[in-house]
Amino acid sequence: MSPPDIESSGLPLVFKVPAEIIRTPTVSNSEAGLRVYVRALEGMQKEAVVGMATPSGQRTWRMVCDEGPYLNGTDLAPFPLAFFTAGTQFALMSEILKHARNKNVIIHALELIQDNYYTMDGSALQGTMIGGAKSPEITIKIESHAPVDDIKAIIEQAEQTSPAHAIFEDVLENTFALTFNDERLPVVDVRPWEDPVDNTLSDVFDAVKPDENADFRDDIITRVSAAEIIKGVEGGAGSSLQAEQKRTLHVHGSAQWTSSMQMETTIQLLKPLGSVFRFVCDEVSDVGGNETAPPPLAYLSAGVGFCFMTQVGRYAQITRQSLHSYQIIQDNVFVHEDSVTYALPVHTHLYLEADEMDEVAQRTLSMSERTCFLHAAMRGSTPVLVKIELNGQPL
């Protein structure tokens, strides 16, 4: 039986689902906890259900991702790194708006330009391939009549409290668990998750349906333009499936504040050759949002899960595995303490079904961690490079 796909589902790319279908990590008043379920669909398509708990309660979103021609995807939904870039932009922008409001500083316009660079180097067949993450480059453009020192103070404070900055700058010792053909296996070459979630993933996905009692937008994610399918060039069709690689990826995002705590961004994959997608974000009610679109952390956490899952599928294709299904449960928590936000280690439980030996499944997990760009970003401390423009003038 073939796995489901985006085309035949008849569902929007993103929508809110009844919150109770996921039980999120328990959090305190100073924390935000997320649980992400991700399963593989047809080809490179993936579906995620993201539950987020804050002091005001839980909200849950369903979203899908795809890959472009570079991974022989159908390009019907954004690529994983687009979700993460959107989440990092929205997270920082949200913190700027929140701190400006707290200081009674009026902002007339806010734009955030971001470029992320990732690397892939080595051989998948020899087990030497590894992903890397370089420092994000962000330009914040603000229009305001507030004094320069006030604007600088707001942005400095926003950098300290942005969960996205914590993901890049905190060194996280992420942990993993593995269930292979319904049997729990020890993990190799990664830190074990000693107390993993052991829910039945199919129950979650079977319960996915739009929440009839929730008000959310129907244009949360849209494709602005499609990548041209070009073969035989750098970053062209199928290029990311090569067994040996030495390349740099470039993701570009341009975000704007629209109203209240709503924001939108346009994300493009410049290397390899990818499409352009638009994302809409709306904050949780805790910080004045109307929750008509996913909050920043939902995009951020989904991006991590999607990226890891892509590496599972990519490695299986390169090594010609007989892989029937793969899915994950991922937990991550952010803690706000003493005017600083910290990221706690991300926990991932990988479920695999395949006609392979146990050693192949264990190697698939460890290689997926090695080659996941976002786990690479969390593996070390990667400073975020920020520039500021106030009323068109650099500060």
- Residue 84: which domain range? 6-394
For 352-382, the pLDDT digits (tens) are 999 999 999 999 999 999 999 999 999 988 9
Give the model's confidence band at 197: pLDDT under 50 very low, under 70 low, under 90 confident, else very high. Answer: confident
Question: What's the CATH number where 20 sits?
Answer: 3.30.300.20
For 295-310, the pLDDT digits (tens) are 999 999 999 999 999 9
Strand 183-185 vs strand 191-192: parallel, antiparallel, or unpaired? unpaired
Give the number of domains in the chain: 1
Task: Look at residue 274 in the predicted model and tell me its pLDDT.
Answer: 87
Q: Which residue has the tokens 């809110």?
A: 16
Tell me which residue of 242, 229, 231, 220 sits closest to 275, measured CA to CA: 229
Domain presence at residue 152: yes
Domain presence at residue 31: yes
Tell me which residue of 257, 368, 299, 283 sits closest to 84, measured CA to CA: 299
Domain presence at residue 1: no
Strand 175-180 vs strand 191-192: parallel, antiparallel, or unpaired? parallel
Domain presence at residue 373: yes
Distance CA 9, CA 4 (A): 7
Domain presence at residue 128: yes
Give the model's confidence band at 54: pLDDT under 50 very low, under 70 low, under 90 confident, else very high. Answer: confident
For 170-188, the pLDDT digits (tens) are 999 999 999 999 999 999 9
Q: What is the DSSP letter of 260?
A: T
Q: Which residue has the tokens 């939904």?
A: 77
Distance from CA of residue 85 to its chain's centroid? 7
Angle between helices 80-102 and 296-318 (to 10 degrees): 160
Tell me which residue of 233, 265, 242, 237 sits closest to 252, measured CA to CA: 265
